Structure 1
Amino acid sequence: MLRRIGTASLLAVALTACGGGAADVAPAAKPPASEASPATEAAGRPAEPTATEPTATGSRAAPAADPVKRALAGMSVREKVGQLFMPVVYGTAADTVSGENQARYGAQTPEKVVAKYHLGGVILFPANVKSVGQVVGLTNGLQKSTDLPLLIGTDQENGLVSRMSAVMTRFPGAARIGATGKPSVAREVAQATGEELRALGVNLDFAPVADVNIDPKNPVIGERAYGNRPGEVAKMVGAAVKGFEAAGVAATAKHFPGHGDTRIDSHTGLPVIKHTRAQWERLDAPPFKAAIAAGVDAIMTAHIVFPKLDPSGDPATLSKPILTGLLRKELGFKGVISTDALNMAGARVKYDDGEVAVRAVLAGADLLLMPNDLPKQYQAVLKAVESGRVSKARLDESVTRLLTLKKERGLLGEPPVVSAEKAAEVVRSAEHRRLAARVR
């Protein structure tokens, strides 16, 4: 059973293992990106210092134990499987059973659900958001309910998709920002959005949208995209990723390999993109390549069929050629691959819920977002690991990527606690309201 690894414990483990002094132990959490050196920022991810121990001759020996490896080594298979899941939590308090929570999970509070399934994260929606103080209480309560701090995500794209709009500054959406022609504006708005999310205890945003809105009648992307010209969208996406990084919040480029040329909404059906490989390279790929170059933390899949990239008929979310072959091997992405919501129709057309979760992992996904049936899908992945269908090595790959992201956000130590007073100063600050007015 994994036990929470506090900052003091990490230090003690390193000292015990290596016999060195405190000055020789690297900190477990990275500094905020705004404090990183120019060289580090240019690389897209703050660098982790490497701790080494002096030998009797004064030379430097092997690096101290990696906190990610330590955390992984202390986890059971059940705990590792739990790290893959990011379901919706219901209600406005971590210790209260809401009606929806009762229907989904029985008489269990959100904090009990997190603990029962060893969840790696949760996602917040408008029903979770009433006031700044309430959101802070919810995120703090959730963080205290688990041995390993959570990724707490939301979809705060701004504009049409703004889950936290009840309390946050109402920034214009991507289409309006793209119309300015200024990537600096995309960066400013992303940084301000990230600062407010972080103050509320949210550490991962499912933004920016990296789709190119090729079809003006697209029912699902539209104004959520920065525009219809791949090169311009790429500049905006790269700048937004840098803005979230500066705020210390993980960014997610979505929806890979590109959801911009369809008239079917994957929430209700399964779109088919008929682009050739050459068209994909020219039209869909540039913003995702820009996101990767900017050091994006995560990339979200699309529930779309793309026959020229994978002729199987499976949606990209369940496609190993697209996720592992194209995104990992060809584009070189090393961060977290998140599915789009697994309760959407586009993910569930061909397979039942349990099979969807297993196939997503086999395809290369690390984070299973919004499972339609958490108990069923958790058990399905667990059984697939126990049977060998999903190898333990494959499971460890995903958990390692998720733990690495947590390390980068300071989430491998004591549970983060945010201050309601500080949040009230940051959220809807005068500076952010002026920025929103200027962009409009």
Structure 2
Amino acid sequence: MSALRRLSLSGLATATAIAGVGVSTAESAPPPEPARISDVQQAARAIQGMTLEEKVGQLFVLFAYGPDAHKPDTRNTTLYGVPTPAEVVAKYKPGGWIYFNGRGNVESPTQLATYSNQLQTAAINTGLHVPMMIATDQEQGVVVRIGPPATQFGGNMAHGATRNTADARTAAAITGRELKAMGIRQDYAPVADVNVNALNPVIGVRSFSSDPQLVSDMTVAQVQGYQRDAGIMATAKHFPGHGDTRDDSHTALPTINHTLEQWNTIDAPPFKAAIKAGIDSIMTAHIVVPSLDPSGDPATLSKPILTGVLRQQLGFKGLIITDGLEMAAVRQQYGDAEVAVRAIEAGVDQLLLPPAPDVQFNAVLDAVRSGRISEQRINESLLRILLMKLKNGVLFTPFVDPAKVATTVGTPASLATAQTIVDKSVTLVKNNANVVPLNADPRKILVTGWGVSTTQALAASLTKRGATTTVAQTGAAPSDAAIADAVAKAQLNDVTVVITQKAWDTTVTDKLAKQQKLVKDLLATGKTVIVVAVRDPYDIAYFDAAPTYLATYGYAAVSMESLAKVIYGETKPTGKLPVDIPVAGQPDTALYPFGHGLTW
């Protein structure tokens, strides 16, 4: 029996008893405890007993469609050649797995716990007996894979607006504990990018701030919350820094034209701080940074950046994981097979979301068999992966108890803590006519603008406070008819709250024109209008005539409740802008500077 099999099975009986999960193994009783040797020695011995195919499989992080490991889905057959998630695990023996809400994985926290157990059973039953590191992107705020009843927070920029690192750590700890209860042992968070470009289409409020020191402090706080308090892996992303781009790496290959001095001053500090804090994992960015590597290769495929800078210069010893390999930015210059090979050559340990699994798996195998990549290089990554699984308890205790999920996920105490934290983030940017706070008089309020669930959530919070509310949701690119309807409804109400979401976004002309037109037409009514940006705070640059403007940095119900509290004066707005809001078309001129924020 291999050392790794002894390692995983030695804790399996206890884990199985706790979780109440049946596991098929060749033994009727667990083997004796392994000799007390170092983790490195145990992992190294395990590697010796693995085939090349098993080693390479451990470098991949896969997903599958559907909410159950044994439920067939034709989309899995198209992608992997087998219909069920369990069969995907059996075929590739992957080292990691990722959940998505948009791909049918998430129905409820309890269902996810069961699903995690099913996947881990499938991994153990492969014959390799190595549980997977199950992960997800629960950044909070605008990137959330698991919604309510899991506890929701405002996201990174909301934390940046509070300047409160203790709260940021608490949010990460609660998030991490809830993920762990569902069998998820790695969160692809926090985002350590410094958002210095107000026109950044992909980061924005996912960043804590435009200030490198504030981003560093918040990143460290969340690393501590995830790893020390919750006991799961944190992942700082997106190295070497995705905060200054006009392009979205999901659809194009961005270039960051920072000089080496600018990179060291702006982008590097949060990653350096995360490494010093003991971050377990760092995710690469599909971006070109000529000052770090003039070749034109994206960082994900750049040995000078990943090995030269991240490993050698910054001294990072944890896992390097790619951003999704299905993203357009990393697929532009090379074919999928070459991308997988070049990523490993660059220094990557984990290949996330390969869009052509068979092609990329076999490409790595062929690269080793041909001598292009040495097996020792594969072993180096495999050792890091196994050591991280040991550190985080995945090898010994891969299972969770679905019956206990409700005692951890979305508890009243956690929800109350989240609300208190988010309450501190709302930023009052402009209040010329002292419209807010509203007094307690009965009034009719129209809630309009972007977001079906967001407008409904805000209306519900305002209704609780005695308002008679009407909702006229208009979407990201409201039609002329929707705008006219909202304007007509505004005439019949005492106050209108209009919600904007990336109204600045010049990459979508209709969205830019229509959200701005909605706000301007509402302001032209002469009625009382409160404008609220529920994502990036930059929207006001495009309708500065708005006399009352607030930023919430998030659009979940918890943020709308905090907004309602401020509108009615139950709490004072204490958030301060964590970024400059530049004048439209003048990125170097601040309309409202970092640190600005009104109160009463």
Pick the TM interval, shorter chain. 0.7 to 0.9
Q: Distance in 2 between matches of 1:360 and 1:191?
A: 32
Matches within 5 A, 1:18-417: 25-26=35-36, 51=37, 66-126=41-101, 127-146=104-123, 147-245=129-227, 246-413=229-396, 416-417=398-399
TM-score by length of 1: 0.86
Q: Are the structure 2 counterparts of residues 94 and 403 from structure 1 closer, same or farther at C-alpha, using a change threshold of 3 Å?
A: same
Match of 1:422 in 2: 404
Report SS of the residue matched to 1:324.
Answer: helix
Q: Distance in 2 between matches of 1:252 and 1:132?
A: 22
Contact 2:6 2:34 in 1 (8 A): no
Report SS of the residue matched to 1:310.
Answer: coil
Post-superposition CA distance 1:303-350 (Å, at most 9, x none): 000001000000000000000000000000000000000000110010
Q: Distance in 2 between matches of 1:235 and 1:328?
A: 22
Q: Distance in 1 between matches of 2:209 and 2:113?
A: 34
Which structure has more relative contact order (CA 8 Å, sep 6+)? It is: 1
Post-superposition CA distance 1:401-428 (Å, at most 9, x none): 1111001011233x62111121111110
Cα displacement (A) at 1:166: 4.6
Contact 1:168 1:427 in 2 (8 A): yes
Contact 1:25 1:64 in 2 (8 A): no
Cα displacement (A) at 1:67: 2.1
Q: Distance in 2 between matches of 1:383 and 1:114?
A: 21
Match of 1:40 in 2: none
Contact 1:274 1:306 in 2 (8 A): yes
Report SS of the residue matched to 2:198.
Answer: coil
Q: Are the structure 2 counterparts of residues 319 and 100 from structure 1 closer, same or farther at C-alpha, using a change threshold of 3 Å?
A: same
Contact 1:342 1:370 in 2 (8 A): yes
Unaligned runs of 5+ residues in structure 1 are 12-21, 27-50, 52-62
Contact 1:67 1:412 in 2 (8 A): no
Q: Distance in 2 between matches of 1:64 and 1:114?
A: 25
Cα displacement (A) at 1:24: 10
Contact 2:39 2:387 in 1 (8 A): no
Deviation beyond 4 Å, 4+ runs, structure 1 = 6-11, 22-26
The amino acid across from 2:140 in the alignment is: N
Unaligned runs of 5+ residues in structure 2 are 13-31, 124-128, 423-600
Cα displacement (A) at 1:133: 2.1
Contact 1:130 1:166 in 2 (8 A): no
Instruction: Quote the sequence identity (%).
Output: 50
Report SS of the residue matched to 2:5.
Answer: coil
Cα displacement (A) at 1:25: 5.0
Q: Distance in 1 between matches of 2:170 and 2:7?
A: 34
Report SS of the residue matched to 1:418.
Answer: coil
Contact 2:74 2:83 in 1 (8 A): no
Q: Distance in 1 between matches of 2:43 and 2:84?
A: 29
Q: Distance in 1 between matches of 2:309 and 2:39?
A: 34
Cα displacement (A) at 1:106: 3.1
Q: Distance in 1 between matches of 2:389 and 2:45?
A: 13
Contact 2:40 2:387 in 1 (8 A): no
Cα displacement (A) at 1:131: 1.4
Match of 2:6 in 1: 5
Contact 1:221 1:260 in 2 (8 A): yes
Q: Distance in 2 between matches of 1:83 and 1:402?
A: 8
TM-score by length of 2: 0.64
The amino acid across from 2:49 in the alignment is: G
The amino acid across from 1:308 in the alignment is: S
Contact 1:121 1:153 in 2 (8 A): yes
Q: Distance in 2 between matches of 1:411 and 1:73?
A: 20
Q: CA RMSD in A?
A: 1.9
Cα displacement (A) at 1:357: 0.4
Report SS of the residue matched to 1:4.
Answer: helix
Number of aligned positions between the proteins: 394
Match of 1:33 in 2: none
Q: Distance in 2 between matches of 1:204 and 1:25?
A: 28
Cα displacement (A) at 1:7: 5.7
Contact 1:208 1:254 in 2 (8 A): yes
Q: Distance in 2 between matches of 1:128 and 1:253?
A: 24
Post-superposition CA distance 1:18-58 (Å, at most 9, x none): xxxx99954xxxxxxxxxxxxxxxxxxxxxxxx5xxxxxxx
Cα displacement (A) at 1:70: 2.3
Q: Are the structure 2 counterparts of residues 404 and 7 from structure 1 closer, same or farther at C-alpha, using a change threshold of 3 Å?
A: closer
The amino acid across from 2:62 in the alignment is: P
Q: Distance in 1 between matches of 2:300 and 2:155?
A: 26
